[in-house]
Each structure stands twice: as C-alpha cells, then as structure tokens.
C-alpha cells in the first residue's frame, strides 16, 4: 500500500509506519503521521488529521508537523502532536501545548453571586472575576477556576415534570439522589435536584461614584480613614462591597435600628442573622455575637413572652456609611424615608438585592389561601400622616421595579390606622398579584433574603405552582379531547372510559362547558399539604422527576470549573458538575505485594489527594508557590520532600532556568496554592506495577529494572495553575496578535510571534508551570514513599525507592536541532508527546548520558505500560520525541455510555488481580481498558521507527485514579 485513504485526506506512504499529507496551499511544511495501518484506522476516525494539517500553517514550522502513534483529537492541535518551530522567526502556541473540553451550550444560564444569572458563553472573558453558585451543604458562591470551550457537539434537551429545561452533552453530570450522574446514564422517571430560583439577568450598572471623602469631611478624620482602609471610599456602584451593602440596607430598612453611641442593631432569627453578619464582615466591619433576650408583650390584655435575637455593630464609620446611603434615621414611622436617590443608576439585580432583603424582613411568607391558591404576598408600612406620601412613594418605586421584571402588583392600599395612641398614623400596603405565573416570577426572580423559612417556602411554592399549572394544562387537554370525541359521536360513557379522570369533569367538559380554565381536581393537594411531601434541602434544591430527554442538535459547548470542593454549579436551575509522568523503582518483588493489594491501594488513596478540587500534600503559602515556580524540585529538596538523587534523575534536574514566576498570574498562583501534591482528575493516576518483561538486558540494568520488580508510576501535571496559565495567555495572544490569528485555519492555534513580548512571557510562565508540575509529582512520590514505609514496615531507603526518571508531556521547549544541515534553535511543541533523546544529547543527566533517556509510556489500567529509551532516529525523525501513552479510542461520553465503573472495577480485580480505587465510578468508566488504543501496537511502531526503543514492560497491581 503506497497511499491511505482517510476520507478528506489521502496519506502518502514515505516508508513503513511513516505517512505524509503533502505540503500545499498555505501549509508551511508537510504533515506526517507515524502509525501502523491499524493505528491509522483509529487516528482517522476523528479530527486528528485536520488538526495536524492546520498546525502546519503556524509560522516557522520546520521539516514537518508530526502525529505520534498514540495521536487523537485535541484542542486545536492533536494530542500526540509534535512541531519544531523556529524560535527566532516562528511562533509559540499555547494551544499546541495543552487545553481542555466542555459540555453546556452557550445560552445555558449560570447562577452567579448576588442573585444574577448569565449565559455561560458570556463568562469567557471574565470568568476569573466571577463567582458561580454551588449547591451542597448550603447554597454558596465559589470562584470559577477555569473556563473551557470547544466546537460543536450533540446536545440533549432535558425537561422535568415541573417544567425545568436544560440542554447538555451526554457526558454532563447532574445531581441526583445517587450523587452526580452523567446525562447519558439518566432516563425519564429518574430524579434530579433543581434549584428553582432563577435570579435576574446580569448587567453592568452605570458606573457612578456615590460617596467620596468630601461626604465625611465634617466628621472626625478617623471616620474617613476607617472607610478608606476598607476600600469604601470612594464608593462606586460597580464596587463589590456596594452589593453587600445593598442587602444590609434593605434588611435594616425592615428590621434594623440605631442605638446608642455608634450602635447599629439588626433583629431576626439566629440563623438568618448569621448571614447578615457575613455581609457586615464582607465590608470590613466586626459584628457582635448574636444575643438573645426575653421580651414581654401585652395583646388585648393578655401577656406573653418571646425570645428576641439580635446583634450589633459599634463602628461609628459603619453607622455613618449606611446613613449616607439612605437608611431610615430616627423613628421609622416618622422619618420620611423613601427609596435611596441613586436607585435609578443601579442594575435590576442590584435593586433586587435591596428589595429581597427588605422582603425577608417585612413581607409575609408564602401561605395557602383557599381552593389551591396562595395568599397575595404583601408588605406594609405604618407612617405618620405627615410622612405618608413618602411611604407611598417608597411603595410605588417598589411596584415600578417589580413591573420592570414582569411582576404585577395590586394597587397601593392606604387606610387609617388607630394602632398608635400617641399620633395619627396611616397604614400603607402593597401586594403581589397572586395568579400562579406572576407568583412564580416573583419567587424565582426576587424572593427573600436573610430569612431561611421564607426562602424555603418560596422554593416549595414555585414547585407547587408549577405542578399545579401542569395539572391544569393536563385537564385542559382532556377537556378539549373530550369535546372533540363527543362532537364525533362518542357517548359520554365512551369518553369517560378514555380518560383517567373524574366522570363529572368529563360531563361538564362535554355538555355544560365552563368559564375560564379548569381547576385542579379535589385530590390535588393544597399548598400546606404539599409542604409535607416536599423536602427543600439546605442548598435550596428540591427533587423532581425527569419527564423527557431528547436529542436536540449540535451546538458549540462550554464548561466551567469552580474552586468549591462540591465541584458543581447551577445552570438553568439544574445542579451540574465542570502532565507528565515519573517512575519510582523499588527492590520489592511481586510476592511482597500479593495479598496486600487492597491494603496498599486504600492507604495510597487516603494519602494522596485526587479529584478536580483543591487539597494537596503541602499547605502552601504565597512564598512557597513563588519558590516552587522559580526553583522547582530544588525547593522540594530544601523542604525535605526530595533527596539529591531525585534531582539527578529528573528531566532538567527538576528545574527550568527560564521560569519566570512574575509572568504567572495571581489567579493561576491562587489556584495552585492548595493543590501542590495532588493527582487531579481525568486520566491522571498513581499505579503500583510489576515488571513483567525485559527486552534489553543491558539498558534495563542501567535503568535498574529487572523482571518481577515492583515499581510505581505517577502521572499528573501542574493542576489548575497550568490550565490557568494557558487560559490567560490564549486570551491575551488572541487579542494582541489578531492579525496572525486571522491567517490561521483554526483560532485554537492562537500563537505569539517569536521574540514578541507575549511569546517571552508565555514561555517564562510555561516553564514556571513545568517547575510546579515536577514539584507536584515529587510531593506525591514523597507521600508514596511514606505509605510504602507504613504498609511494609521498613524505611523507604531500605526498599530502594529511587526515582527512575521524570519527564514532561505537555510542553514547548527551546532546543537546538539539525534542520537541513543547519543547527537551529526551535520551540519544540510536544502536546501529549514525550521527549526521547538518545545517548550523547547534552541535556541528559549524567546517569543516562551513555544509554539514552528513559521514556515512560503508560497504557490503560488493564493493559500495562512500557519503559523505553531514546532511539537513535528520534532526533532526525521527530525532533527527539515519541508517544506518551496508549491514546484514547473513544470520548469520555462514549466510555461512560459503554462501561459501568463498578463492573470495570470488579472485572479488573476478579480477572486480573488489579485493584482500582477512584473518587467515583464514572472516573473508572472513563478510563476503562477498552477506552484506549493497544499500547503494544503504539510501542511497536515507536520501536520499529527507532524513535523510542523498548526496554521493559510493566503490568498494574493497584491503581488510584484522579
């Protein structure tokens, strides 16, 4: 065979295992695929070849862009891709180093902090400055740690029995009573949790300065200083602190008062007051503890006692601040307060912060009326006759705000009130119209703050009213069908037999008709009865059934990842979820481990943090992160996590000298701070293995490997820090080098020209991230040594737990290579590929200078892995590179639709004595052995081409997955 037909592409055979897409058009070089025909069949199934061809359009590509035998589709640049690009006249591309995938369409609305919602697509440019709402033990905001996007994928529309709708890809996870479950594993009738509060569409308020130093010039200078220290002067409508203040102002207007010297008091239930205290702290002031005291009451001659709860602040600066912002001063009944004058400059969601807090204090809770209706939610004020107009103005502004949101209110009521014996007072009242759709809009868009009971009842009310509407719609449909059947000649009895409904309802539908919509049946519960069967959880979610799941269409999809350990966020009301390798040798034999596999895997799983979120082995400070980024494994040596021999057996001795910690954003550093010494998620793992085969005795001896030996493989990367570096620079490069981007066939290949400021910054930041990744794996190795010492009751040194080698996978490095007889400095991009230098290359550590670099090729957890050494042909063929693993055959979505994690785990244990442990079954399904290509075939091609020579093969004993 001299050509290979891959659909759109015809590959020409250069020689055995080398196939080429010839250079044409705007390609700067040919594209080459290193694969057997069996592997080509798999590579050609996705977008790998198109992405490889696109990569040849990058300026400065030398010789040819390459796809290793394990290649598969990636973000912009194929995983398993290698490109050597002129470091003087070419470019550097973050997309050709590494990125991620995702799963919600762009119009999916994500719940954000402060009661806002926004389409997920709109978060692309600002996600690091936003907080998404997370469900769990509570409903809380969390920083967003990542934003990912990709091309079009098939999405499915999910609709619940209460009318919630969302579109998502099949691999997107939803919160269910059984935990997070992928959409592919759900079906109609299954239960999911929804959060019915929608919030208000996000918009940026008009930027206006509300308070400056001049507003406090008449007071003691210390007042101004206190406010300036807390960044409250000047105070602008766009300040986050102002949003916290709006909630406090609204609640104080209802349930607050001024006391003695500097005192500001807030009253409510203890749990609710704790949330007010959080906002007081958020603006920089210290609240008191919550006090409790007995209060005596006399009503119609009857006395009673209640417990009143309250807390205070005693800062004169805080008291003056909220006075300047428009809270009632003095006795509220006579103060003449109205809506603060700056409200016209606020976004609707900001107004809702104020009013929902006021409603939490003053509005009646959702309650049953009669005939399955709810009472009209009302707020009322008592004012003196002189200030009644001001009170009516306040309520009118409130009604206008609700009207802007499509929420109707009744007319403002005004009537005399004789409750005050000392002065003439007027009672004012405003109610929200209580038809179902109007109440749903009110409870789901505005609702209540600072009142747990009202918030829970509002959630229950939304679901009750939605269910009621569904029931009415069902009865309307039956009535229409009944009349149609009767008009067609069917008897009343025949019509009654057709429907499971009261016979009297059918008769009325046929004969007497009815004015208006039908009412729910007698067996439909009222609101009070429904509360007994509806559980509103602490995170304000409720359980509902899936009514339908149907394939919609293909759409571009997106995802976000949050910092909160719950790893979920709320979109469209649903709760949904968003390297390198080193080998450690031991002198243990397989017999030493047999019978202790479960003990070992449990101990490793407990000791090494894994999964998407935070938590690492080292509790890092800002200074630690800076030192790690700068010095790499040298830092670990100083801190006692490494020994000298670890550095001697690590690529670049565990430190990239070109690292520039200052080029790493603070956001990236913050993400990495609590992840140092953790596996992460996806295909990352820690695996205990045994050496089953040795192919080159001489090289294996140099590497310190022999048959039946126990080794440990650690595969993970720079965690969220590295992802953030890529995200930061992709965005900056897209904006700064739009001209270059417009010349490329795929925007995901965004690149910075060599020598440009961004190219140098990105290279320095990437090298710093590599340092972080090396230290991350070093800390995991340190913890692994401790676990082995505990399990086998001997010092790790006695077990000779030495590092064989550590090599990076996703990287672009400046290296000198021969290009047509000329020595050139190149940016060698290796995305999901590994360096494979032969003996004699100066970058190799002394231990391997004469034998060649060790290469570690992980396979699936059921197939084993390989140790190779840099082949003699690697420099001329692949810029000193080879494959980095088996390569995926199917997506994670496909994997989870085909495999069940528990079954995979059981089969591996029972059939192959491989013990696997992970955070959840879905992770195991995603990494099932059948998901990956044949690692034997991948390595066979590498060996045959002389780019990576087989040395030894290993097989899993136990494995913990990220």
In this structure, what token pair is assigned to residue 784?
Answer: 């692994």
What confidence category does residue 683 fall into, taking pLDDT thresholds of 50, 70 and 90? low
In this structure, what token pair is assigned to residue 13?
Answer: 């055979």
| Number of Cα atoms under 13 Å in the Cβ half of residue 753 | 10
Residue tagged active-site, from 244, 649, 723, 884: 884
CA angle (367, 368, 374) in 5-degree steps: 85
Q: Is the pLDDT of residue 689 over 80?
A: yes
What confidence category does residue 905 fall into, taking pLDDT thresholds of 50, 70 and 90? confident
What confidence category does residue 578 fall into, taking pLDDT thresholds of 50, 70 and 90? very low
Q: In terms of pLDDT, which residue wins out, 681 or 665? A: 665
DSSP 8-state class, residue 516: S
581-604 burial by CB neighbour count: b if 16+ within 10 A, else e?
A: bbbbbbebebeebeeebeebbbbb
Q: Does residue 603 sit in helix, strand or coil?
A: helix
The whole-angstrom separation of Cα 72 and Cα 938 is: 12
Which is it for the CA torsion 602, 606, 607, 613, positive or negative? positive
Between 364-373, 712-721, 760-769, the lowest mean confidence (pLDDT) is in: 712-721
**Residues 652-661, mean pLDDT to the nearest whole number:** 91
Active-site annotation holds for 309: no
The whole-angstrom separation of Cα 909 and Cα 601 is: 12
pLDDT at position 99, please? Answer: 47
**Residues 598-618, mean pLDDT to the nearest whole number:** 77
pLDDT at position 483, please? Answer: 84
The whole-angstrom separation of Cα 359 and Cα 446 is: 9
C-alpha 364 chain-centroid distance? 37
Other C-beta atoms closer than 10 Å to the C-beta of 643 total 16
The whole-angstrom separation of Cα 653 and Cα 889 is: 34
The whole-angstrom separation of Cα 68 and Cα 88 is: 26
Between 252-256, 317-321, 403-407, 530-534, the lowest mean confidence (pLDDT) is in: 530-534
789-816 burial by CB neighbour count: b if 16+ within 10 A, else e?
A: beebeeebeebebbbbbbbbbbbbbebe
Q: Is the pLDDT of residue 254 over 80?
A: yes
**Of 381, 324, 383, 336, nearest in space to 358 by CA:** 381
**Strands 116-119, 200-201: pairing kind:** parallel
The whole-angstrom separation of Cα 683 and Cα 929 is: 12
Q: Is the pLDDT of residue 658 over 80?
A: yes
Q: Under a CB-based contact definition with an 8 Å cutoff, are residues 235 and 242 in contact?
A: yes
**Of 889, 897, 886, nearest in space to 953 by CA:** 886
**Strands 264-267, 685-694: pairing kind:** unpaired
The whole-angstrom separation of Cα 104 and Cα 575 is: 13
pLDDT at position 493, please? Answer: 81
Q: Residue 307: which residues within 8 A CB-CB, separation 6 or more?
A: 292, 293, 294, 295
**Of 150, 118, 121, 148, nearest in space to 132 by CA:** 118
CA angle (279, 285, 288) in 5-degree steps: 85
Between 53-67, 492-506, 852-866, the lowest mean confidence (pLDDT) is in: 492-506
The whole-angstrom separation of Cα 862 and Cα 936 is: 12
What confidence category does residue 615 fall into, taking pLDDT thresholds of 50, 70 and 90? low
**Residues 626-641, mean pLDDT to the nearest whole number:** 93
Q: In terms of pLDDT, which residue wins out, 503 or 129? A: 129
Phi, psi of 711 (to 5 degrees): -130, 165
What confidence category does residue 888 fall into, taking pLDDT thresholds of 50, 70 and 90? low
Q: Is the pLDDT of residue 580 over 70?
A: no
What confidence category does residue 203 fall into, taking pLDDT thresholds of 50, 70 and 90? very high
**Residues 554-561, mean pLDDT to the nearest whole number:** 82
pLDDT at position 920, please? Answer: 66
pLDDT at position 374, please? Answer: 95
Chain length of the chain: 962
What confidence category does residue 896 fall into, taking pLDDT thresholds of 50, 70 and 90? low
Q: Under a CB-based contact definition with an 8 Å cutoff, are residues 32 and 14 in contact?
A: yes
Annotate 132-192 with DSSP letters as a single string.
EEEESSSEEEEEEEEEEEEEEEEEEEEEETT--EEEE-TT-EEEETTEEEEGGG--TT-EE
pLDDT at position 914, please? Answer: 81
Write out pLDDT tens, residues 38-48. Answer: 989 888 887 88
The whole-angstrom separation of Cα 376 and Cα 926 is: 51
Q: Under a CB-based contact definition with an 8 Å cutoff, are residues 768 and 658 in contact?
A: no
Between 156-160, 163-167, 902-906, the lowest mean confidence (pLDDT) is in: 902-906
Between 370-379, 407-416, 600-609, 799-808, the lowest mean confidence (pLDDT) is in: 600-609
Q: Is the pLDDT of residue 879 over 50?
A: yes
DSSP 8-state class, residue 508: I
Q: In terms of pLDDT, which residue wins out, 83 or 810? A: 83
Of the ranges 251-265, 566-580, 606-620, 711-725, the best mean pLDDT one:
251-265
| Number of Cα atoms under 13 Å in the Cβ half of residue 681 | 18
DSSP 8-state class, residue 290: P
**Residues 580-595, mean pLDDT to the nearest whole number:** 90
**Of 353, 325, 350, nearest in space to 339 by CA:** 325
- Mean pLDDT across the chain, nearest whole number? 88
The whole-angstrom separation of Cα 130 and Cα 121 is: 13
Annotate 788-825 with DSSP letters as a single string.
HHHHHTS-TTTTT--EEEEEESSEEEEEEEEETTEEEE
In this structure, what token pair is assigned to residue 658?
Answer: 């070109």
In this structure, what token pair is assigned to residue 679?
Answer: 């596996």
Between 221-235, 611-625, 662-676, 795-809, the lowest mean confidence (pLDDT) is in: 611-625
Between 79-83, 156-160, 444-448, 743-747, the lowest mean confidence (pLDDT) is in: 743-747
What confidence category does residue 567 fall into, taking pLDDT thresholds of 50, 70 and 90? low
pLDDT at position 897, please? Answer: 63
HEC string for 360-411? HHHCCCCCECCCCCECCCEEEEEEEHHHHHHHHHHHHHHHHHHHHCCCCECC
C-alpha 355 chain-centroid distance? 30
Annotate 204-269 with DSSP letters as a single string.
PPPP-EEE-GGGGTTS-HHHHHHHHHTT-SSEETT-HHHHHHHHHHHHHHHHEEE-STT-EEEES-
**Of 253, 274, 275, 257, nearest in space to 266 by CA:** 257
What confidence category does residue 667 fall into, taking pLDDT thresholds of 50, 70 and 90? confident
pLDDT at position 839, please? Answer: 94
**Residues 638-665, mean pLDDT to the nearest whole number:** 91
- The share of the chain scoring above pLDDT 90, in percent, equals 57
Task: Give the containing element (helix H, strand E) for 551.
Answer: strand 542-562
Q: Is the pLDDT of residue 101 over 60?
A: no
pLDDT at position 151, please? Answer: 60
- The share of the chain scoring above pLDDT 70, in percent, equals 93
């Amino acid at each position: 065979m001299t050509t290979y037909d891959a659909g759109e592409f015809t590959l020409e055979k250069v020689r055995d295992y080398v196939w080429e897409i010839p250079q044409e058009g705007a390609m700067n070089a040919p594209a080459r695929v290193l694969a057997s025909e069996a592997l080509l069949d798999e590579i050609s199934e996705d977008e790998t070849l198109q992405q490889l061809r696109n990569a040849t359009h990058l300026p400065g590509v030398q010789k040819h862009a390459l796809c290793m035998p394990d290649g598969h589709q990636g973000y912009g640049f194929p995983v398993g891709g290698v490109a050597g690009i002129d470091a003087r006249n070419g470019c550097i591309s973050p997309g050709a180093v590494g990125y991620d995938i995702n799963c919600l369409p762009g119009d999916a609305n994500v719940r954000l902090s402060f009661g806002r919602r926004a389409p997920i697509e709109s978060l692309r440019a600002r996600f690091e400055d936003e907080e998404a709402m997370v469900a769990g033990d509570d409903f809380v905001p969390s920083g967003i740690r990542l934003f990912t996007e990709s091309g079009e994928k098939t999405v499915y529309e999910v609709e619940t029995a209460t009318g919630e709708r969302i579109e998502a890809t099949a691999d997107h996870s939803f919160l269910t009573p059984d935990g997070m479950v992928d959409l592919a594993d759900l079906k109609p009738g299954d239960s999911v949790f929804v959060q019915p509060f929608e919030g208000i569409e996000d918009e940026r308020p008009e930027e206006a300065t509300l308070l400056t130093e001049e507003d406090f010039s008449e007071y003691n200078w210390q007042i101004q200083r206190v406010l300036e220290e807390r960044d409250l002067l000047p105070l602008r409508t766009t300040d986050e602190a102002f949003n916290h203040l709006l909630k406090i102002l609204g609640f104080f207007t209802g349930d607050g008062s001024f006391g003695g010297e500097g005192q500001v008091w807030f009253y409510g239930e203890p749990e609710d007051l704790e949330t007010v205290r959080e906002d007081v702290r958020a603006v920089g002031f210290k609240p008191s503890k919550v006090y409790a005291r007995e209060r005596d009451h006399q009503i119609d001659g009857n006395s009673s006692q209640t417990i009143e709860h309250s807390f205070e602040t005693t800062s004169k600066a805080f008291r003056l601040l909220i006075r300047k912002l428009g809270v009632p001063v003095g006795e509220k009944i006579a103060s003449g307060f109205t809506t603060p004058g700056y409200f016209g400059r606020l976004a609707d969601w900001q107004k809702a912060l104020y009013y929902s807090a006021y409603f939490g204090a003053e509005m009646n809770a959702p309650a049953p009326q009669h005939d399955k209706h709810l009472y009209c939610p009302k707020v009322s004020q008592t004012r003196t006759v002189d200030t009644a107009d001001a009170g009516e103005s306040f309520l009118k502004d409130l009604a206008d705000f609700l009207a802007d949101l499509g929420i109707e209110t009744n007319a403002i009521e005004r009537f005399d009130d004789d409750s005050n014996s000392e002065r003439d007072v007027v009672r004012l009242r405003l109610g929200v119209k209580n038809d179902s759709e109007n109440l749903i809009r009110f409870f789901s868009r505005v609702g209540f703050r600072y009142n747990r009971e009202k918030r829970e009842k509002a959630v229950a009310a939304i679901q009750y009213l939605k269910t009621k509407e569904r029931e009415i719609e069902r009865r309307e449909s039956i009535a229409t069908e009944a009349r149609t059947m009767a008009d067609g000649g069917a008897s009343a009895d025949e019509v009654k037999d057709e429907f499971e409904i009261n016979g009297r309802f059918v008769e009325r539908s046929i004969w007497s008709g009815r004015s208006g919509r039908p009412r729910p049946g007698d067996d439909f519960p009222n609101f009070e009865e429904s509360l007994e069967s509806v559980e509103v959880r602490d995170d304000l979610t409720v359980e509902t059934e899936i009514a339908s799941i149907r394939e919609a269409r293909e759409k571009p999809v997106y995802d976000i990842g949050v910092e909160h350990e719950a790893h979920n966020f709320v979109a469209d009301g649903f709760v949904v979820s968003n390297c390198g390798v080193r080998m450690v040798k031991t002198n243990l034999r397989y017999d030493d481990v047999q019978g202790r596999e479960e003990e070992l895997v449990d101990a490793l799983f407990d000791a090494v943090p894994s999964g998407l979120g935070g938590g690492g082995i080292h509790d890092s400070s800002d200074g630690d992160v800076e030192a790690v980024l700068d010095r790499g494994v040298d830092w670990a040596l100083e801190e006692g996590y490494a020994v000298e021999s670890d550095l001697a057996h690590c690529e670049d001795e565990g430190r990239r000298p070109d690292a520039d910690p200052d080029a790493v954003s603070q956001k990236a550093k913050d993400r990495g701070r609590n992840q140092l010494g953790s596996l992460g998620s996806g295909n990352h793992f820690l695996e205990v293995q045994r050496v089953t085969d040795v192919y080159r005795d001489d090289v294996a001896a140099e590497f310190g490997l022999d048959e039946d030996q126990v080794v440990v493989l650690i595969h993970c990367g720079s965690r969220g820090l590295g992802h953030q570096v890529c995200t930061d620079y992709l965005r900056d490069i897209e904006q700064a080098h739009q001209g270059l981007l417009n010349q490329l066939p795929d925007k995901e290949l965004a690149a910075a020209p060599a020598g440009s400021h961004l190219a140098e910054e990105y290279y320095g930041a990437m090298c710093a991230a590599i340092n972080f990744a090396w230290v991350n794996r070093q800390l995991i190795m340190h913890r692994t040594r401790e676990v082995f010492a505990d399990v086998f009751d001997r010092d790790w040194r006695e077990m000779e737990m030495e590092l064989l080698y550590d090599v990076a996978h996703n990287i672009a490095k400046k290296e000198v290579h021969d290009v047509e007889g000329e020595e050139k400095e190149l940016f060698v991009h290796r995305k999901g590929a590994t360096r494979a230098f032969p003996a004699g290359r100066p970058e190799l550590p002394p231990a391997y200078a004469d034998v060649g670099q060790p290469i570690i090729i992980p396979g699936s957890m059921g197939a084993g892995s390989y140790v190779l050494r840099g082949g003699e042909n690697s420099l001329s063929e692949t810029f000193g590179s080879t494959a980095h693993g088996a390569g995926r055959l199917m997506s994670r979505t496909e994997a989870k639709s085909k495999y069940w994690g528990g079954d995979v785990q059981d089969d591996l244990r029972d059939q192959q004595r491989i013990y696997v442990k992970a955070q959840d079954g879905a992770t195991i399904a995603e990494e099932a052995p059948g998901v990956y290509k044949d690692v034997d075939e991948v390595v066979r091609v590498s060996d045959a081409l002389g780019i990576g020579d087989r040395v030894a093969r290993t097989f899993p004993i136990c494995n913990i997955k990220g």
